[in-house]
Structure 1
Amino acid sequence: MDFNEDWIDQTLFIKSQKGHILLVQIYVDDIIFGSTKKELCDEFEKLMKDKFQMSSMGELTFFLGLQVQQRKKGIFISQDKYVHEILRKFNYTDVKSASTPTDLEKPLVKDADADDVDEHLYRSMIGSLMYLTASRPDIMFAVCACARFQVSPKTSHLLAVKRIFRYLKGKPSLGLWYSKDSPLELVAYTDSDYAGAILDRKSTTGGCQFLGNRLISWQCKKQTVVATSTTEAEYVAAANCCGQVLWIQNQLLDYGYNFMNTVIYIDNTSTICIIENPVQHSKTKHIEIRHHFIRDCNAKKLIQMAKIDTQLNVADLLTKGFDAGRFQYLVSSIGMLNP
């Protein structure tokens, strides 16, 4: 069988045949494969069994901690077994559940006068939660915020981590739903929480990318420089989202899908004006050059920026904490649900 190695992911191999594709993903000694034509899967399975001493595990149900439920109307991905495992590991199976992973009344600060906690325990809890963010973008912001205090964690920081576990106790089976009937269209959302990090007043970048209504990628990261305005923080976040969109576009090109001129939704009008205006304004000269490539991408029609109301910007979930009502709305809006 003639395969082409994906130039972005060198562990992914693609075979095209008369309008159908076969995808083969390799991880160490495990192989996942799928195709738009069942005969191609059967042919590849027979080839592997003939050439190597390999056994087929059948339809994909579990991989690297991810549980995969394939249904008639779509695919549901979750990690509820892993959630129950870490709840038992850290003795949180009998705690009172929380409605959100963050406590708005207790913002995280350095808290130098508070008592120290076991840093090895704290880092172990953070590590366990970071692995869970592979399918749980709802806890992404809270985990990233707590991860910033791993050097010298205090009691207040440990309480914030415990809050995340209490939230998981109440929502252990929450996962991502990938509908079969969703349109195949690449769209993205970007947002920023201006000066949200109390310690150094750096902003937080949030971004998420969808194929139709299927969430396929998300980001939450503290920016490396202190933004001097909301527009600058939003501009840096938009550039970060643009970079991720370009990566996805190139990946999908290998599958035979062209999604150029992808719409990126943002709730800041000034950022859109700066990106679309070819004139280098004096007020934006201080923004690092590496972020200005988004202008070039916009000029080449690789992406296009579109204004969206703040209340509808789902990337907001990855930049700050919310009350229970707003939080639940955003979680459901990105396609997360209970099985």
Structure 2
Amino acid sequence: MLAYYLLYGENVTAFPDNFRMIAGDTYLRDFPWPIPDPPKSEWTGKQASQQALRQKAIGFNCLNYALDPEPSLGRHFLPNKTYLDEHCTDGVRFELMFPSCWNGKDVDSDDHKSHVAYPSLVMDGTCPQGFETRLVSLFYESIWDTYAFKDKEGYFVLANGDPTGFGYHGDFMQGWESGVLQQAVEQCTNPSGQVEDCAVFNIQSEDKQQQCTFDMPPALKHEKVTLTSGGLPNKLAVQWGPAYASDVSASVSSVVSSALSAATHAVASASAELSLHASAFGNNLQVSKPTSTWTPTPTTSYVESAVTQAVVYVEQEIIVWVDGQKNILGTGTGSLETLSTTTRTTTRVVSTVVTVPTEAPVKREEHVHHVHKRHGHGHLHQRS
């Protein structure tokens, strides 16, 4: 990640000690404003509200170094994987602009937002009334190599359960040695932007930086930060929106286990019932067609056998991206996800045997009482 400290505006001041703020909202899953942004000269009314400016302070820059670069903060949603695979050969850059207008008194607020505001053009512009103190403009960039997953099934999702990008956010806590950042604001005005051109800082060599170590706390040393079992960290559920998201944990595994247990029990019961009915006749069922005057008539025997079938229940998401006016921006599909598996037993004809008698059957004078067996047919309904 790269953090830019920019000096937009007049009379810029450093962050005061113990200052904190948040940019973005982790629960947002919708962007109710025009896509793409209209010209900044047309940002009036709701377009210029703090709510709109907060969402316009998030960017997802498609990187293709063979082409002209996209503008910073030009796209406010995460493109779908199809688009990333086709166009973003050098990955995607997540961008986040922090508020730079301060009320001049509170170093924090209950929501970590109310004590600050955005200027009229997000990066630059005029601060709103009550927030006239201009702070250093803080801009975060993080590049993700999404192209490494080209042509692989699936979709990208942020660790907070957000596949849209609307919930991208960041925190800032002032940790500068008191007074140092203010000196840099006043003295380091070289347009090169190179930190080496600022005499306020005593820059260490890269080799010396690599020598800096600390004892890893046990809680961090054993923390699993990749390939999290069960999906997202803390088993967070993926929430597509557009409704405001919530702290919901995915409980699919428990539901699938219950459904699998019930389905297995039902299949086992049905198999037992079918086996019971079949045992009255054995495995061969014979059907013949006698005639009034005997002639050799072929008899066909159908040989049935129990067959075990595997049943796999899968789920696939169909994704439709729309803007605030419900215009469709694109569509996509998620990967196939196996929800549960089970087995079921059925009977099936596996072969036939044809026989031809060589002599007429013996005529019986006595009456033979035939036992008629009534068969109940059990129907097993399974829902996926």
Which bracket does the TM-score occupy, shorter chain normalised?
Answer: under 0.3
Whose helix proportion is higher, 1 or 2?
1
**TM-score (ref. length: structure 2):** 0.22
Higher RCO (CA < 8 A, seq sep 6+): 2
Q: Which has the larger radius of gyration?
A: 2
